[in-house]
Amino acid sequence: MKRYHVPQFIEIEDKIFGPFTFKQFVYAIGGFAVAFIFWVFLPRFLAVLFGVLVITFSLGLAFYKINNRPFMDVALSATGYFTKSRLYLWRKTEKKEAVLKKTSSSMQITESDLPRVSRGKLHDLAWSLDVQEKFKK
């Protein structure tokens, strides 16, 4: 008998750069690189302002999770929600009590309204009921 190795923990990413995964490393380094570019080309006040925002966002992408989902997935979902068009449909439904009153007043069952049960289904149902009675005793 052959035994096959089944991979486990496939949803956990490998740590490549010390304690960081590849995605975490790229997000963090990318954020710091953009902040450095701001530092070089913008006035100091704007560079600090935009740099803090970019670094915060990149570290959020790298490490922050919402309901065990990466922040990147949540950010993409939110962006899609706000940019795509939405169609709202409203259908008026009658209240259940009104529907029940209508059906109870006109409740005349004919033989054609009853479901047809074949001999095989009836036999299976009877057998399952007999089995359940034996287990209950």
Tens-digit pLDDT profile for residues 26-80:
999 999 999 999 999 999 999 999 999 999 999 999 889 999 888 989 999 999 9
Residue 71 lies in a domain: yes
Task: Tell me whether residue 53 is in a domain.
Answer: yes
- Residue 92, domain member (yes or no): no
27 lies in a domain? yes
Cβ–Cβ < 8 Å for 49, 88: no
How many domains would you assign to the chain?
Answer: 1
**What three-state secondary structure class fits 65?**
strand
For residue 42, what is the enclosing H or E element? none
Judge whether 105 lies within some domain: no
Q: Which two tokens stand for residue 39?
A: 């530092």
DSSP strand pairing (20-21 vs 65-66)? unpaired
The larger pLDDT score, comparing residue 41 to residue 114, is at 41
Domain-located, residue 61: yes
For 39, the domain range is 22-81
**Residue 50 within a domain:** yes
The type of residue at 117 is V
pLDDT of residue 48: 94
